[in-house]
Chains A and B, each alone.
Chain A
Amino acid sequence: MSLQRVAITDEAKKIVQQLKEAHGELIFHQSGGCCDGSAPMIFEKEDMYLDESDILLGNLEDVNYYMNEDQFEYWKHTHLTIDITEGRGSSFSLEIPLGVRFIIKSRLLTDEEAAFFNPKT
């Protein structure tokens, strides 16, 4: 079965490819709260210190997508699609100089997806 927690739109894929050409290997990290938060951020692979508290949610265009475990606790019943929109953010996410921002579109997991990802123990 090839169910995925995260997906990416074609428009967002183009930006990821563009950033990979400019910066090399990348990761996505889902940020927490405040002004520019609650948004996916993309960094050079070695830029951010990750450990076992960062949950790997999936891989999009060869870019791993992480979220901190305490945040994941509230997100685990939702499916995420990474999209791109015009805009500015003041974080260190690499797409910002292009005048675009990654954003998350969410929906609830289907029953089938929920049974697969969050089996009742």
Chain B
Amino acid sequence: MSYTKPNFKEKYGNFINGQFVDPVGGEYFENRSPIDNSVIANYPRSKKEDVQNAVDAANAAKDAWGNTSAAERAGMLNKVADIIEANLEEFALVETCDNGKAIRETINADIPLSVDHWRYFASVIRAEEGTATELDANTLSMNIKEPLGVVAQIIPWNFPLLMLSWKMPPALAAGNCVILKPAEQTPSTATLLMEKIADVFPPGVVNIIHGFGPEAGKPLASNSGVDKVAFTGETTTGQLIMQYASKNLNPVTMELGGKSPNIFFNSVMDEDDAFLDKAIEGAVLFAFNQGEVCTCPSRLLVQEDIYDAFMEKVVARTKAIVQTNPYDSNCMMGAQASNDQYEKILSYINIGKEEGAKVLTGGNACKLEGEFANGYYIEPTILEGHNKMRVFQEEIFGPVLAVTKFKDEAEAIEIANDTLYGLGAGVWTRDAHQLYQIPRAIKAGRVWVNCYHAYPAHAPFGGYKKSGFGRETHLMMMNHYRQNKNMLISYDKNKLGFF
């Protein structure tokens, strides 16, 4: 089945205080589709005045919103989920157009997962309880969760609606007002969502600001009217946001980069069965979402005695990846999200070759015909080398797999942990001991065992080391958006006796 590019208006506004508004300065930027470099629409080039309007609206709304019942908030979150689900194909098409990813991914992953994260937080907020402890016969300590107030959220372009749906629901469920800035490469699904849910929340509770990092992102992250900043992106921006937050003594959560190892022990090849088939797919998942995933399994570690036989299968499976019109449901890998991303990935493939890595497959841009000739396509690429090479250490954020071999468990763990990052990892084995012991030894927040790239709600996700802190997609995220109010109550009628 093949779809076509969806229709857009000529321009869109920011969503502030329950309505779409033009940017104060009247400036817009042009957003293009990486699929064919065609124009999508114009979005506001917001400045600090626009940010301030959103912060003011959120602050005006926060007291009333913070006092709504969990049942009311859950009802609204569920309504958002229902609306996205009822318009699944429209959201999927807009996402594919804006980001470049294949339509089969947006229809089967991005949008349905988004729906589920809204539903998840709608449900857990209903099931929560505070705590009360009788410290002695006359003293009760009671803990009540209170919202922080106004939360700023800055998200990347690789999963635009899904990252919004990881960030907004826990903050809203916890009773905060939100100002979210989508990445300027992918403003479209956040805007579409606001069009569809404009009346769901009271004005000021949900706000979307478009624009560039230095002009809109920085004033948002440093604004003193904001009580918390949540960020997904890269390390240097993360450091800057923490600096700005330190001026306001604001808490932050950070989901930053990764260079995730995907480790295959020799037992995966003990049988030629469904599990081996799954394992081969698991190695090829580096090409999922064109490799533009923070947890992309971009370092493949294979035990040396199965290396040749295993890699033969991985290369064959990689060569079978179909690159074509991303709106066609046969397309397995779409366009890279932007020109600078495309240039950067090619430059990394080049440095890999220069450092002496051997190209097992791919290694070039992928030239598509017709209108897609102007899009940004790269062949899924496998580079064989060693872990000290830059292509093994830096997050390329593209369909580039760096593969090396290891001798035994100790060496697998050593290579896996020889990285600045600690976001994700994969372990594949039929050995029951390795299933537990290897993941425990890997310094990463999420270790997939005999699977990869699964992101269900209620499995907490977040990083170790330079990959950040905070745990999303789980009810524990709500505590990153709340204060704890402790009421210490005395039932003793008698005075202390000091004065």
Shortest C-beta distance, B116 to chain A (Å), equals 23
| Interface positions of A from 65 to 118, Cβ below 8 Å from B | 70-71, 74-75, 78, 85-94, 96-97, 101, 103-108
Cα separation A108 to B351 with both chains bound (whole Å)? 8
Note all chain B residues with C-beta closer than 8 A to A70. Answer: 420, 466
B69 at the A interface (CB under 8 A): no
A33 near B421: Cβ-Cβ < 8 Å? yes
A91 near B185: Cβ-Cβ < 8 Å? no
Q: Interface centre among B184, B218, B236, by most A CB within 10 Å?
A: B236
Note all chain A residues with C-beta closer than 8 A to B212. Answer: 90, 96-97
Shortest C-beta distance, A60 to chain B (Å), equals 18
Mark each residue of chain A from 40 to 56: 1 if its CB lies under 8 Å from any CB of chain B, else 0.
Answer: 01010001110000000
Note all chain A residues with C-beta closer than 8 A to B258. Answer: 33-34
Cα separation A68 to B157 with both chains bound (whole Å)? 25
Smallest Cβ-Cβ distance to B239: which chain A residue: A48
Additional 7 contacts, C-beta under 8 A, given A34-B234, A48-B240, A74-B394: A33-B395, A34-B395, A36-B233, A37-B395, A49-B239, A90-B154, A104-B344
Note all chain B residues with C-beta closer than 8 A to A103. Answer: 340, 343-344, 347
A4 at the B interface (CB under 8 A): no
B340 near A101: Cβ-Cβ < 8 Å? yes
Note all chain B residues with C-beta closer than 8 A to A16. Answer: none
Mark each residue of chain B from 230 to 273: 1 if its CB lies under 8 Å from any CB of chain A, else 0.
Answer: 00111111011001000000000000111100000000000000
A37 near B340: Cβ-Cβ < 8 Å? no
B394 near A33: Cβ-Cβ < 8 Å? yes
B215 at the A interface (CB under 8 A): yes
Q: Would you give 28 A-B contacts (Cβ < 8 Å), ordered by A?
A: A33-B421, A34-B232, A34-B257, A34-B258, A34-B294, A35-B158, A35-B234, A36-B156, A37-B233, A38-B396, A39-B340, A48-B240, A48-B243, A74-B393, A75-B390, A85-B340, A88-B340, A90-B157, A90-B217, A91-B213, A91-B237, A96-B212, A96-B214, A97-B45, A103-B344, A106-B347, A107-B354, A108-B355
A85 near B236: Cβ-Cβ < 8 Å? no
A38 near B344: Cβ-Cβ < 8 Å? yes
Binding site for B on A (CB under 8 A): 29-39, 41, 43, 47-49, 70-71, 74-75, 78, 85-94, 96-97, 101, 103-108
Shortest C-beta distance, B229 to chain A (Å), equals 13
B351 near A34: Cβ-Cβ < 8 Å? no
Mark each residue of chain B from 158 to 177: 1 if its CB lies under 8 Å from any CB of chain A, else 0.
Answer: 10000000000000000000
A86 near B339: Cβ-Cβ < 8 Å? yes
Note all chain B residues with C-beta closer than 8 A to A36. Answer: 156, 233-234, 237
A37 near B257: Cβ-Cβ < 8 Å? yes
Smallest Cβ-Cβ distance to A105: which chain B residue: B347
Q: 9 tightest A-B contacts by CB?
A: A33-B257, A87-B340, A33-B395, A37-B234, A34-B257, A32-B235, A31-B236, A90-B183, A34-B234
B388 at the A interface (CB under 8 A): yes
Smallest Cβ-Cβ distance to A40: which chain B residue: B236
B341 at the A interface (CB under 8 A): yes
Smallest Cβ-Cβ distance to B351: which chain A residue: A106
A34 near B394: Cβ-Cβ < 8 Å? no
Binding site for A on B (CB under 8 A): 45, 154, 156-158, 183-185, 212-215, 217-218, 232-237, 239-240, 243, 256-259, 292, 294, 338-341, 343-344, 347-348, 350-351, 354-355, 388, 390, 393-397, 420-421, 466
Smallest Cβ-Cβ distance to B345: which chain A residue: A38
Note all chain A residues with C-beta closer than 8 A to B45. Answer: 97
Shortest C-beta distance, B73 to chain A (Å), equals 29
Note all chain A residues with C-beta closer than 8 A to B339. Answer: 85-87
Cα separation A35 to B185 with both chains bound (whole Å)? 11
Note all chain A residues with C-beta closer than 8 A to B256. Answer: 32-34
Cα separation A70 to B183 with both chains bound (whole Å)? 28
Cα separation A74 to B388 with both chains bound (whole Å)? 7
Note all chain B residues with C-beta closer than 8 A to A78. Answer: 351, 390
Note all chain A residues with C-beta closer than 8 A to B350. Answer: 106
Note all chain B residues with C-beta closer than 8 A to A94. Answer: 214
Given known A-B contacts A34-B397, A48-B240, A39 and B156 have beta carbons under 8 A apart: no
Contact of B233 among A34, A38, A43, A86 (CB under 8 A): A34
Shortest C-beta distance, A23 to chain B (Å), equals 9
A29 near B351: Cβ-Cβ < 8 Å? no
Smallest Cβ-Cβ distance to A31: which chain B residue: B236
Note all chain A residues with C-beta closer than 8 A to B156. Answer: 34-36, 90
Cα separation A34 to B350 with both chains bound (whole Å)? 19
B217 near A92: Cβ-Cβ < 8 Å? yes
Smallest Cβ-Cβ distance to A44: which chain B residue: B214
Note all chain A residues with C-beta closer than 8 A to B355. Answer: 108
Cα separation A48 to B157 with both chains bound (whole Å)? 24
A90 near B184: Cβ-Cβ < 8 Å? yes
Smallest Cβ-Cβ distance to A86: which chain B residue: B339
B338 near A87: Cβ-Cβ < 8 Å? yes
Shortest C-beta distance, A77 to chain B (Å), equals 8
Cα separation A86 to B212 with both chains bound (whole Å)? 15
B236 near A41: Cβ-Cβ < 8 Å? yes
Note all chain A residues with C-beta closer than 8 A to B354. Answer: 106-108
Note all chain B residues with C-beta closer than 8 A to A34. Answer: 156, 232-235, 256-258, 294, 395, 397
Smallest Cβ-Cβ distance to B339: which chain A residue: A87
Smallest Cβ-Cβ distance to B156: which chain A residue: A35
B344 near A39: Cβ-Cβ < 8 Å? yes
Smallest Cβ-Cβ distance to A48: which chain B residue: B240
